[in-house]
Homo-oligomer: A and B are copies of this chain.
Amino acid sequence: MTYCVGLLLNEGMVFLSDTRTNAGIDNISTYRKLFVFEEPGERIIVIQTAGSLSVTQTVIAKLREADEDPDASPYPSIMQAPTMLRMVEIVGQVLSDVTADISAKVDRMSQSATASMIIGGQRKGGSPRLFLVYPEGNFIEATEDTPYLQIGEHKYGKPILDRVVTPETSLEDARKAVLLSMDSTLRSNLSVGMPLDLLTVLTDTCQVQHQTRIEANDAAFQEMSHAWSKALRESFTSVR
């Protein structure tokens, strides 16, 4: 499984992904699930992926191909799409085609291969937008009321987001919220694993503000995790 979360806030966007993939519990690997398409100052698109690695890798490869070699690709480039809505429609189309293609093959083995994606982005002159694309290619969008989207193993980490995140949340608090949301998920589900990819984008800059990989032995993350455990236990004691 996977846990990815994306936040659309007034101040900017925050993305956090784990990196664990597994084919059965005894075949675990580390793969990046956070991808950036960027023309700094002009356009930024961040894609997070969950599901069958064969599907997600192929989709990202086809999106890159459409961007880098437009003549060779049947799809338009997401970096040239006139709007973010058109951009997510292209991703949805590629995802739908790849899923259908791979599913046709694995169906014969009575298996299924699906994937979903979170896509956030902004083009110069437009508003930042955040989408969740389903395996079928259709999608939903984050709103003021629900300023975050999750894919993968989303339930363990949802309570903290529900309690803390609003569009007014600062980027600093948002980073903390997604890391604590991930921390709860890591504790409760083995199929989600370190390292983590964290990326932030400031509104109207159309470029990555900060991107970092948090390794399993990261001191700051461990400290936050311990402090949170301690604070939770103290909260638990204080409540009657």
Residues of A near any B CB (own CB < 8 A)? 153, 155-156, 158-160, 162-164, 173, 176-177, 180, 184, 187-188, 224, 227-229, 231-236, 238-240
Contacts and interface: CB of A to CB of B under 8 A. Distances in A.
A228 B158 CA distance: 16
A99 B233 CA distance: 41
B163 A229 contact: yes
Nearest to A187: B162
Given A153-B155, A160-B236, 17 more contacts: A155-B155, A156-B156, A156-B158, A159-B184, A159-B188, A160-B232, A162-B188, A163-B229, A163-B232, A176-B239, A180-B236, A180-B239, A227-B238, A227-B239, A228-B235, A231-B234, A231-B239
Contacts of A159: 156, 159, 184, 187-188
Assembly stoichiometry (copies): 2
14 contacts: A153-B155, A156-B156, A156-B159, A159-B159, A162-B187, A162-B188, A164-B233, A176-B236, A176-B239, A231-B235, A231-B236, A231-B238, A232-B235, A235-B235
Nearest to A236: B164
A238 to B, nearest CB: 6
A155 B188 contact: yes
A240 B228 CA distance: 9
A224 B237 CA distance: 12
A183 to B, nearest CB: 9
Contacts of A236: 160, 163-164, 173, 176-177, 180, 231
